[in-house]
Amino acid sequence: MLDYRDGFRREAHPSFFSLEEMMNLRGRRDVSVEYDIAQICMNGHVVNRGMRQMPGANQNCCSKCGAPTIHKCQQCQADINGNRLMSGPGGSLITFDQPAYCPKCGTAYPWIVSKIEVAKLLIQETDGLEDAEKEKLAGSIDDLVKESPRTQLAATRLKKAAGKIGVEGLKVLKDTISDIVSNTVKELLWPTK
């Protein structure tokens, strides 16, 4: 079993692992995967990625925005996944992705719920779209976030609407949506290549 400090040191220097080494770790069966518990504020600021390993960093309220912090799904009480420690014969790796949905019951975490709401409100505020278009587009936001078979359709809708929304409105909307969708969806919406 790997010493935590070792993992911490490696996290602080991600370049310690080559991409090849990381892929080797992922594909192997003799690799164990363990999650710590994350403490995150209601607005989505990550307060502590590893409550077990770093209990001293726990906070009842967020130091950035003052909102209360949670570390369990409010629907099913399952722990929120924090640092992921993958360890095996080839070494170990600590990674962290802020989760959007509870892996146990599928409920969206509060920070996702409120960002979806904000994105929908922003759409209502934009100039250049008919009310019916706004409705349709607001309805597409859920599909963009969830990555379902309807994601492609939702992306097409947003791209069509983008042509009609003013530059200012589009920038704000893009920032908000970028925060809540995956890289795959971002690439669909705003291809970089």
Which one of residues 105, 148, 171, 184 is an interface residue with Zn ion (CB under 5 A)? 105
Which one of residues 10, 17, 24, 45 is an interface residue with Zn ion (CB under 5 A)? 45
Q: How far is the CB of 43 from Zn ion (least distance, A)?
A: 4
Show the tokens assigned to 159: 């791209």
Beta strand 81-88 with 91-95: parallel, antiparallel or unpaired?
antiparallel
> Sheet containing 39-41: which strands, arranged edge to edge?
46-48, 39-41, 69-70
For the window 3-42, what string marks contact with Zn ion as x by the rule CB under 5 A? Answer: --------------------------------------x-
Among residues 104 and 160, whose Cβ is nearest to Zn ion?
104
Of 163, 126, 128, 157, the C-alpha closest to 143 is 157
Among residues 51 and 93, whose Cβ is nearest to Zn ion?
51
CA separation for the pair 178, 173 (Å, rounded):
8
Among residues 63 and 184, whose Cβ is nearest to Zn ion?
63
Which stretch in 5-13, 65-73, 86-94, 137-145 sits in contact with Zn ion by CB under 5 A?
65-73
Going from the C-alpha of 14 to that of each of 17, 18, 21, 99, the distances in angstroms are 6, 9, 12, 20
Residue 76 binds Zn ion, judged by CB under 5 A: yes
Among residues 106 and 166, whose Cβ is nearest to Zn ion?
106
Q: How far is the CB of 56 from Zn ion (least distance, A)?
A: 19
Of 113, 138, 114, the C-alpha closest to 125 is 138
- Which residue stretches of the chain are H helix? 4-12, 19-27, 110-125, 131-146, 151-162, 167-180, 183-189
Which one of residues 51, 86, 102, 141 is an interface residue with Zn ion (CB under 5 A)? 102
Which one of residues 51, 62, 170, 173 is an interface residue with Zn ion (CB under 5 A)? 62
Among residues 22 and 113, whose Cβ is nearest to Zn ion?
113
CA separation for the pair 18, 180 (Å, rounded):
28
Residue 73 binds Zn ion, judged by CB under 5 A: yes
User: Interface with Zn ion by CB under 5 A: which residues?
Assistant: 41, 43, 45, 62, 64-65, 67, 73, 75-76, 78, 102, 104-105, 107
